[in-house]
Amino acid sequence: MSSIARGLLICLMLTTIPSSLGGCQRVADARSKFCQTLRPVGAVAVELKSINADTPADQVRAKVESLQQAKSTLESLAKLTPIPAIDELSSSIDQVVGAAGQATGNTLGAAAEQISTAGMQLEQVYTQVNDAVCAAK
């Protein structure tokens, strides 16, 4: 059974429980918050895949910091509702963080290609997760 089907089954089961528990509402709220948090991840991925060696390192570090914060929130929300490929999304963010950590000085230099590649991978995973979780609404 897919994780989405499992989530729907849980919601159906919870509708028979008194409404004061609000199980399905929490799942819907978590899914909505997940999608709100996910959108900027996709935007950052698009920006990262088009960087070059002359891109200011501080600019990329700020984007990476926002990705790390989003990752933490996304992982917490994924515990409340079944989210397919959350581990793959987290891993892709970690790859971006690792690639950005290779940058030294004021510009990205040789690390730019690794960051761009990691950004492309993140964009692909973002699209998969977004299509499975957020576009399915």
Question: Using CA atoms, how far apart are residues 1 and 39, in angstroms rounded to an integer?
Answer: 27
Q: How far apart are CA 13 and CA 35, in angstroms?
A: 24
Distance, CA of 88 to CA of 41 (rounded, Å): 14
Give the model's confidence band at 107: pLDDT under 50 very low, under 70 low, under 90 confident, else very high.
confident
30-134 has which CATH code? 1.20.120
User: Where in the chain are the domains?
Assistant: 30-134
Q: What is the pLDDT of residues 26-71, one digit of tens each?
A: 767 888 999 999 999 999 999 999 999 999 999 999 999 999 999 9
Q: Phi/psi at 107 (nearest 5 deg)? A: -120, 165
> Which phi and psi angles does 49 have, rounded to 5°?
-70, -15
What's the predicted TM-score (pTM) here? Answer: 0.78
